[in-house]
Amino acid sequence: MFRNLPSSTKFDAFQAKIREQIAPKDITDVKLIEDRRIAYVGFKSEAQAQKAIKYFDQTFVFGNQKIKVELVDEKVRLPLKVLEESKD
């Protein structure tokens, strides 16, 4: 999950920026929810997801705001950290 995206982020620009770092064949889907300033990107492997997190997390690559990137549970689309905390 990509969070805290700039409000000016558009789908085509977002997808192009992702594909600069991750090969298009390794991306399964991209969903941008502009009004919430978040995006979901599906990867074929967890290794590719980790590569995206390492490159994009805590950067200003999409504009003038620092973004947050984290893994989510694909069934409920919640950050894994939240799910682990709720189990306690």
> Mind listing the pLDDT tens digit for each residue in 22-49?
888 999 999 999 999 999 999 998 899 9
Instruction: Return the CATH class of domain 2-87.
Output: alpha beta
**7, 47, 73 from 11: Cα distances, Å:** 11, 24, 22
pTM: 0.78
**Residues in contact with 5: Cβ distance below 8 Å, sequence separation at least 6, in sequence order:** 14, 32, 37, 38, 39, 62, 63, 65, 67
pLDDT at 83: 46
Q: What is the domain partition of the chain in residue ranges?
A: 2-87
pLDDT at 80: 54
